[in-house]
Amino acid sequence: MLVLGVDPGLALTGWALVDGEGGRLRLNSAGYWRTQAGLEQGARLLQLWDEMGRILAAARPGAVAMERLFFSRNTSTAMAVSQARGVLVCAVAKAQVPLVEYTPAEVKQSVSGSGSADKRQIARMVRLILGEEVPAGPDDLSDACAVGICHQHALGLRRAVTTAARAGR
C-alpha cells in the first residue's frame, strides 16, 4: 500500500509517499510545502489545502498518516500548527482517503526503537530504512518519511497478527 506521511505545520509541511509493496519499504517521492511568511494566514492555509488536494489526486495513496499535535509551550505556534493540521485533515476527508494519526513518541518508537529519539537519530534511521533515496531537506521532510514508515510498520504488524490468528484456528 502507498502511504502519504505528513508532518504538518503552517510555515513548513513535510510529506512523503512510502510504498510498502513486496515486503520492503521504498520511498516513492517526498518533499515539503513552504508557505510565505508575509501572507495573510487564510491564504497560507488555502495554499496547504491546495497542495494536499494536488498530491492526493496525483498519488492516490491508500492511507494518509499524520503526526498528531503534541502540547507546545509556545501557544501561538501550537495554534498555527493545529489550524494547518485541521485544513490538511479536511482535505484528506474531502478526498475520502483513510486518515491515521500517530503521536511523535509512537513515530519515534516505530522508526528508531526509542520514543525519545532526537531529530538526528530519526533522520539517520529514515535513511537506513528507506535507503539513500531520501532527499536532503528540512527536518519536516524526514519526519514525514518517519510517519509514513510508522504506518507501514503498523500495517505489517496487523498483517502478521491476522496471518497468525488464521493459522491458529
Alpha-carbon Rg for the chain, nearest whole angstrom, is 16
Q: Which residues are catalytic?
A: 7, 67, 140
Give dist(CA 46, CA 70) in Å, integer. Answer: 23
Q: Are 163 and 35 in contact (CB under 8 A)?
A: no
Chain-centroid distance, C-alpha 112? 16
Give dist(CA 49, CA 90) in Å, integer. Answer: 8
How many other C-beta atoms are found inside a 10 Å radius of the C-beta of residue 128? 12
